[in-house]
Structures are given as structure tokens and as C-alpha cells.
């Protein structure tokens, strides 16, 4: 379904490319519209400039919306701003409801309830996105923030069991990979297979735009250093659980 608008909500720069970059690029290349909210890293910081570049590579028509909170354990990610998880949820819901009512997306894409692998910023982003999607549709909440808007479906990033098996063998140590949720194939509602090599190339280029995280993260270095066939097998599949907020919902792609 090309004519609908998607809203992606991610905790950190690089998450949009790693977990949903193929979906973004494929949707936009087919003529769809989309926006990206990044909850941490303020404008003017290194990783914010990198997510702006990555969004451009993926084809997003507008720059990411930065909420500007601090990344967990990295105060320099938003000097003087509170940590993302420390701010009252209702304050952040109000902020996101205004964005949702202004953009009017048909579907929202974020992490699953455990944040894919338990990162507290990911879990908080899931809770925030879920609460804001529901609140945005209620007429008597935040009346000054625009007309109510009903998001039809929420899509939650998850990891297929076969992907975790590959990551276990090639990328993570046992303790790190043990936190990844291995979702059985029968429990995955939507599997986005990126058949176009050009779209996979675009996703890889967007990941490579995140120089700071590639320099810091052993897992990302290991992922991007895998043999081409294994790496592209992983990057060419993105998996989601689907939750419809209205009967019938809306398809992701």
C-alpha cells in the first residue's frame, strides 16, 4: 500500500538503519511517505548529524525529528538535557501526541515490548510510542495540540530465531546475544524481504553513515565485517509483530 504515511520511532541514531532501514528505503522508493523520530542525541552532536545523513540515504523526504534527550550513560549526547528514561512519561507523551497529530501517520513503527534486546532506552521508546499513538486519537486529551488522529496499526521490530542463530555464531558473545528475543517464525506477523540489491545497498550505506557507533561498537563492526553473503542475508530481512488499533488496520508495505 503505497499511498499511506509511516512514522518510525527509534531511541538512538543507527537504530533506524539497522532495524528498519530496508523498510524505510523500500517504502519511500515505491512512492510512500515517512517520517522518523529519534529520541536521543541532540542537534549539534556527532551522532545527530550522522542520523541526518543516514535518513537522506534511505530516502526520507524530511530530516529526522530529534526529541533531544540524553542517551543512557552518555551525557554528551545531549548536554544539559535529562536522560531519556528519567523524564516523566506523560510529558513525553504530550510531546509525541503533538507530532502525531501534525504528521497524521497511518501506521507507527517502533520496537517490540522488550526493545528487541532489553535496552532500557528501546523499551522506553516502545512504551512512549504506544501510549502516544493511543492518546493522539482521544478527543478530550491535549485539546490544544490539534485535532485527534487515529493511527491504524503499530508494527514492532522483532528478531527471527534464525537471525539470532546467525548472530550468535558470528557477531555476539554468548552473554550479549542471550538478550536478543528469538521470535519463532509462526509468531512473526510481517516479514519484509528486501529483494532489490539497490535497496540493500542503500541500507548498508545508511549503516555506514553512523561512523561514531561503528568505531565504538564491537557488535556493529562484527556485523558489517561478515562475509558478504551472510551479512546481506541478515540485512535483507526485517521482521515485525503487528497490532491493529482499528479493525483491519493498515498494511506496512
What cell does 220 get?
556493529
Examine residue 219 and state whether it is found in any structural domain, yes or no.
yes
Examine residue 252 and state whether it is found in any structural domain, yes or no.
no
In sequence order, what are the residues at sequence separation of 6 or more whose Cβ sits closer than 8 angstroms to the Cβ of residue 128?
Answer: 9, 39, 89, 92, 93, 96
Examine residue 169 and state whether it is found in any structural domain, yes or no.
yes
What does the angle CA 200 – CA 62 – CA 80 come to, to the nearest 5 degrees?
Answer: 105
- Identify the pLDDT of residue 177: 54
Examine residue 160 and state whether it is found in any structural domain, yes or no.
yes
- Identify the pLDDT of residue 173: 55
CB 183 within 8 A of CB 114: no
Range of the domain at 82: 5-240
Examine residue 248 and state whether it is found in any structural domain, yes or no.
no
Examine residue 246 and state whether it is found in any structural domain, yes or no.
no
CB 237 within 8 A of CB 173: no
Examine residue 197 and state whether it is found in any structural domain, yes or no.
yes
Examine residue 144 and state whether it is found in any structural domain, yes or no.
yes
- Identify the pLDDT of residue 175: 44
Tens-level pLDDT at each residue, the chain (253 residues) = 567 999 999 999 999 999 999 999 999 999 999 999 999 999 999 999 999 999 999 999 999 999 999 998 899 999 999 999 999 999 999 999 999 999 999 999 999 999 998 899 999 999 999 999 999 999 999 999 999 999 999 999 999 999 988 887 777 654 455 667 789 989 999 999 999 999 999 999 999 999 999 999 888 888 999 999 999 999 999 999 999 999 999 999 9
- Count of domains observed in the chain: 1
The sign of the CA dihedral 118, 122, 126, 132 is positive
Residue 163's domain is classified under what CATH number? 3.40.50.10320
Amino acid at each position: 500500500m503505497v499511498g499511506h504515511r509511516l512514522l518510525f520511532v527509534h531511541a538512538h541514531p543507527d537504530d533506524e538503519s539497522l532495524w528498519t532501514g530496508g523498510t524505510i528505503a523500500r517504502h519511500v522508493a515505491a512512492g510512500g511517505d515517512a517520517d522518523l523520530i529519534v529520541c536521543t542525541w541532540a542537534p549539534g552532536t556527532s551522532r545527530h548529524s550522522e542520523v541526518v545523513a543516514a535518513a537522506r540515504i534511505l530516502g526520507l523526504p524530511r530530516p529526522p525529528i530529534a526529541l533531544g534527550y540524553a542517551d543512557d550513560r552518555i551525557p554528551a549526547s545531549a548536554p544539559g538535557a535529562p536522560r531519556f528514561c528519567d523524564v516523566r512519561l506523560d510529558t513525553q507523551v504530550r510531546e509525541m501526541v503533538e507530532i502525531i497529530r501534525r504528521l497524521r501517520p497511518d501506521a507507527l513503527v517502533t520496537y517490540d515490548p522488550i526493545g528487541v534486546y532489553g535496552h532500557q532506552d528501546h523499551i522506553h521508546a516502545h512504551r512512549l510510542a504506544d501510549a502516544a499513538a493511543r492518546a493522539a486519537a482521544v478527543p478530550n486529551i491535549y485539546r490544544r495540540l490539534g485535532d485527534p488522529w487515529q493511527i491504524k496499526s503499530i508494527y514492532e521490530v522483532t528478531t527471527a530465531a534464525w537471525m539470532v542463530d546467525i548472530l550468535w555464531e558470528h557477531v555476539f558473545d554468548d552473554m550479549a546475544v542471550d538478550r536478543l528475543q528469538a521470535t519463532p517464525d509462526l509468531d512473526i506477523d510481517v516479514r519484509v524481504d528486501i529483494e532489490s540489491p539497490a535497496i540493500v545497498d542503500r541500507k548498508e550505506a545508511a549503516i555506514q553513515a553512523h561512523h561514531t557507533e561503528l568505531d565504538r561498537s564491537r557488535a556493529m563492526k562484527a556485523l558489517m565485517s561478515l562475509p558478504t553473503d551472510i551479512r546481506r542475508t541478515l540485512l535483507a530481512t526485517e521482521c515485525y509483530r503487528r497490532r491493529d488499533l482499528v479493525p483491519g488496520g493498515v498494511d506496512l508495505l
